[in-house]
Amino acid sequence: MRRPLALALAVALTWLVVSGPAGVGALRPTALAIGFALIAAALAGSLVKRFGLPRVTGYLLFGVVCGPYVGNIITTPMARELQLINGLAVVLIAFIAGLEINFARLRPQMHAMVRFGSITLLLLYAGLFVFIWLAWPWLGIAPALVGLQKLAAAGLLAAVVASFSPTVTIALIAESRASGPVSQMTLTLVILGDLILILLFALLMQLGRFAFGGSGDVGLFESVSWEIFGSFAFGAAAGGIFALYLRHVGRELTVALIAFCAVVATAGRTWHLEPLLAALAAGLVVENIAPPRGDMLKDAIERSALPVLVVFFAAAGASLQINALAVIGIVALAVSVVRLLLIRSATFAAGRYAGLPPALAGWVWMGLVSQAGVTLGLTLIIAGEFPTWGSQLQTLSVALIAIHELVGPVLFRSALVRAGEVGRMDTLGPPALEGVPLDTSDL
């Protein structure tokens, strides 16, 4: 009873302040938005957890319900202010992911992972491309396109639809304290898959420029290469410095961690790097080259991760354009169903080819459904480059993100629960699948 009462009080207080005549102050509503999101989204997260859903879904639903497109308690300026924390959150989330990838531990499973990942990605992309090519007249993007133009547009759309969400995957693993083959495989697949898709996307953009009469210069390819390799180099250097700090100073770690994330996020923006990749590289360096002694980093992450995740997903929910679903709902739903079926069948086939236990492939696909920032980023590039048909593609993509961002976390959490991996991050010893008669030596 106390929690609903507190939730009602927070909502009422914020609503009074936002809608009252005093809400004309010159100050930006950042602190108000963060405070309201922290309390109310955290409560919404604990509420949905009672129904067996991931907390992340509660944070997202809170954002949707209170956001500017539905309840408008989080007004448009407040939602914009909440986005400020996004850069920090993405870096922190990716850094946590990097810390979870230990090459020495993964080495025996690497071969199977590469085979499984490459086949899954190939089948998924090929399947989506064929579907989009065949269904093109009904997608409402640019039905009149033919030949090379249609090839480029369909290829780009397939890359957008195939992309995953590393942030949601990592956040769910961190929130569930999950560890084991399913979380490890999903995480690796999502990160490497997105890397490959981004490279493919850059090539397809070149094709698109050529097909639509543009210059076809190599600018985008160069910038993507810089983003990927430059980000890894910068992140590795930043991770090395942070590892030195951990080893030789080791004080005020929560503050140092937040400051580190802020520096990586700011440098990413300034130097056109990809903060997600940079932070991932930093985490890899810290974990694999200079691991900290004791639990001090783990404690600092635990203290700082939850508030950042709560605000990040509440902001994501608040910015979800639910109205896009109303515009293109049926088409988006159809594409979503096809994507789901393709992910399921691609992982099944790839699992068999890589010699993975069927149960593992049967769970990993659930972690590949979420879509968020990467998808939106690719969409915005297309819309900016090809405004004539890119805006329709953006509407479809936003509607797909709305569906997958709400459905994906539920599915992935369910997979982690069924694999018995929830809460295993805190236990010692090598992760293993529970209740599944399989030989994990190949994983």
Residue type at 86?
Answer: N
- Asked if 307 touches other proteins (CB under 8 A), the answer is yes
Asked if 167 and 372 touch (Cβ cutoff 8 Å), the reply is: yes
Shortest spacing between CB 305 and other proteins, in angstroms: 8
- Nearer to other proteins by Cβ, of 33 and 346: the residue is 33
Shortest spacing between CB 304 and other proteins, in angstroms: 9
- Nearer to other proteins by Cβ, of 27 and 144: the residue is 27
- Distance between alpha carbon 67 and the CA centroid of its chain, in Å? 20
- Asked if 18 touches other proteins (CB under 8 A), the answer is yes
Shortest spacing between CB 311 and other proteins, in angstroms: 9
Shortest spacing between CB 96 and other proteins, in angstroms: 14
Contact mark string toward other proteins, 22..61, x via CB under 8 A: xxxxxxxxxxxxxxxxxx--xx--x---------------
Asked if 111 and 198 touch (Cβ cutoff 8 Å), the reply is: no
Sequence-ordered list of residues with C-beta below 8 angstroms from that of 22, at least 6 positions apart, any chain = none
State the residue for tokens 């129904």. Answer: 51
Shortest spacing between CB 370 and other proteins, in angstroms: 23
- Asked if 263 touches other proteins (CB under 8 A), the answer is no
Residue type at 305?
Answer: A
- Nearer to other proteins by Cβ, of 27 and 326: the residue is 27
Pick one of 187, 310, 359, 369: the residue that binds other proteins (CB under 8 A).
Answer: 310
Pick one of 138, 303, 329, 352: the residue that binds other proteins (CB under 8 A).
Answer: 303
User: CA-CA distance, 297 to 301, in Å (whole number)?
Assistant: 6
Pick one of 134, 222, 249, 252: the residue that binds other proteins (CB under 8 A).
Answer: 252
User: CA-CA distance, 41 to 7, in Å (whole number)?
Assistant: 9
Contact mark string toward other proteins, 57..96, x via CB under 8 A: ---------------------------x------------
Pick one of 142, 210, 267, 302: the residue that binds other proteins (CB under 8 A).
Answer: 302
User: CA-CA distance, 359 to 343, in Å (whole number)?
Assistant: 15
- Asked if 17 touches other proteins (CB under 8 A), the answer is yes
- Nearer to other proteins by Cβ, of 105 and 177: the residue is 177
Stretch that binds other proteins, among 62-70, 110-118, 302-310, 415-423 (CB under 8 A): 302-310
Shortest spacing between CB 9 and other proteins, in angstroms: 5
Shortest spacing between CB 28 and other proteins, in angstroms: 6
CA distances for 401 relative to 121, 319, 376, angstroms: 19, 11, 8
Burial class from Cβ neighbours inside 10 Å (0-12, 13-18, 19+) for residue 50 reads exposed
Burial class from Cβ neighbours inside 10 Å (0-12, 13-18, 19+) for residue 93 reads buried
* Longest CA span, the chain: 66
Stretch that binds other proteins, among 112-120, 138-146, 248-256, 435-443 (CB under 8 A): 248-256
Sequence-ordered list of residues with C-beta below 8 angstroms from that of 359, at least 6 positions apart, any chain = 419, 433, 436, 438
Shortest spacing between CB 37 and other proteins, in angstroms: 8
User: CA-CA distance, 184 to 29, in Å (whole number)?
Assistant: 39
Pick one of 9, 148, 296, 330: the residue that binds other proteins (CB under 8 A).
Answer: 9
Asked if 316 and 89 touch (Cβ cutoff 8 Å), the reply is: no
Comparing CA positions, the residue from 191, 295, 294, 297 lying closest to residue 242 is 297
User: CA-CA distance, 188 to 181, in Å (whole number)?
Assistant: 10
Sign of CA dihedral 244, 273, 175, 74: positive
Stretch that binds other proteins, among 102-110, 270-278, 306-314, 332-340 (CB under 8 A): 306-314
- Asked if 12 touches other proteins (CB under 8 A), the answer is yes
Q: Which residues bind other proteins (CB under 8 A)?
A: 2-3, 5-6, 9-10, 12-14, 17-18, 20-39, 42-43, 46, 84, 252, 254-255, 302-303, 306-307, 310
